[in-house]
Amino acid sequence: MDDHVFVADLKPGTIFGVYQLAEARALKARNGKPYLALTLKDSTGSIGAKRWDSDGNVLSEIPAGCFIEVEGNIELYKEQPQIILKALRRVEATEVNLAHFEKPPAFDPVQLRAELLAILESLPDADYKRVAAAYLADEAFMGRFEIGPAARMMHHPYKFGLLEHVHSVVTLGARLCEHYFWVDRSLVLLGLFLHDSGKVVELIGEDTPSYSVEGELLGHITTGINMLDRKLKELGDIPHHKGILLKHIILSHHENAEYGSPKEPMLAEAQIVHAIEALDAKMNAFYRERELPPERSDLTGEMRYSKLLKRHVYTPPKNAEKSADPDAS
């Protein structure tokens, strides 16, 4: 499969090759006939694909993240290339050159880890600093924390995603604590560090994350509380009320029961943690939507329905020119 044609190099014409499935949906055309709408990707980008007169039964055979061999034609639809599929079949990962699909991160994980550690080591509260140090010294925890994804689909669902997400929220939290100077900075920053700590157990895999059996049964909030309980017992002399406040932040970081939190934020620090982590998760989803093919576009930009955000989202034209704006000087 060394003759792989990268997505960025695809041109109108016939196509026969292997790509990774990013998304698959069973839809109906205006005439009522079913069809499949797929998004295929490799390390250089993604492209939309359609299989006409096909229902969703095949979707159970091609889960997101798998590799599929496709045959068809590339056509332009509203000036965007898309594949009209004639045939497709699943291909095992062992048959694929994974280098064609491994996109290097847009950041340096080593640098992010160092910056995160520097913030945690500067916590002003000695007790919370000791709790942070206990996690940082846990090789099993950090081994997974540093490479694992932050979610299966919603946000940062890729290798190093959890590290990227936590670095982002802790950095934002440090800035917000300067504005809301009266909050407990150590509680906010440690809460942000640990809010998704249970995901080191809940999620397995990196490039195509999935749930572990334990993750399915307990979820990352319960797992995170259990992990914190063990750490507090190991440390022994952390004041009881500080452990309770930290647990409350983990329990409430999704804000309400509809999204998995059994408690709403009842302290200012918990509200800050929820607001920051929710913002960062959604911003990552918006960022990734820019790489997916639009459903419609014109000179103003592109629109597509986001399953992640459950709304239509806008992205600027990929080749936007300032001269296209008649009011531009």
Across 56-92, b (16+ Cβ under 10 Å) vs e yields eeebeebebbebbbbebebeeeeebbbbebeebeebe
- pLDDT of 245 reads 97
Rg (CA), the chain: 23
> Is residue 212 exposed (0-12), middle (13-18) or buried (19+ Cβ within 10 Å)?
middle
**Tens-digit pLDDT profile for residues 86-115:** 998 999 988 888 888 877 777 888 999 999
Beta strands in the chain (DSSP E): 13-28, 34-42, 45-52, 67-77, 80-91, 203-204, 210-211, 296-298, 301-306, 311-315
Report the C-alpha gap between 241 and 211 in whole angstroms.
33
Which residue in 272, 247, 276 sits closest to 183, CA to CA? Answer: 272
- Please tell me whether residues 115 and 82 are part of one structural domain: no
Same domain for 164 and 276, yes or no, is yes
Total number of domains constituting the chain: 3
pLDDT score of 25: 84
Question: For residue 193, which of 86, 113, 109, 127 has the smallest C-alpha distance?
Answer: 113
Whether 2 maps to a domain, the answer reads no
Looking at residue 207, its pLDDT comes to 67
Give the three-state DSSP class for 298: strand
pTM of the full predicted structure? 0.75
We report the CATH number of the domain holding residue 11 as 2.40.50.140
**What span, in angstroms and rounded, lies between the C-alpha atoms of 188 and 185?**
5
Range of the domain at 302: 296-324
- Asked if residue 161 is part of any domain, the answer here is yes
pLDDT value, residue 42: 84
Amino acid 322: pLDDT: 43
Residues 17 and 80 in one domain: yes
Burial of 260 (C-beta count, 10 Å sphere; 0-12/13-18/19+): middle
We report the CATH number of the domain holding residue 217 as: 1.10.3210
User: 19: which strand partners?
Assistant: 68
Q: Which residues of the chain have pLDDT under 50?
A: 321-329
Q: Are 184 and 269 spatial neighbours (Cβ–Cβ below 8 Å)?
A: yes
Where a domain ends, among 70, 100, 130? 100
| Per-residue model confidence (pLDDT) at position 228 | 96
Do the domain assignments include residue 80?
Answer: yes
- The helix, strand and coil proportions of the chain, stated in percent and rounded to the nearest 5, come to 45, 20, 35
Half-sphere exposure of 303 (CA within 13 A, CB side): 7
Within a domain: residue 329? no
Structure tokens, 7: 């997505």
Statement to judge: residues 158 and 271 lie in one domain: yes
pLDDT of the residue at 309: 87
Q: Round to whole Å and give the CA distance between 198 and 145.
A: 10
Q: Do 308 and 230 belong to one domain?
A: no
Of 20, 70, 26, 24, the C-alpha closest to 45 is 20
280 closest CA partner among 118, 116, 141, 170: 170
Q: Do residues 127 and 260 share a domain?
A: yes
The pLDDT of residue 125 is 97
137 lies in some domain: yes
The answer as to whether 62 is a domain residue is yes
- The verdict on 134 and 115 lying in the same domain is yes
**Each residue of 16-28: pLDDT tens digit?**
999 988 888 888 8
Shared domain for 314 and 187, answered yes or no, is no
In a domain, 306, yes or no: yes
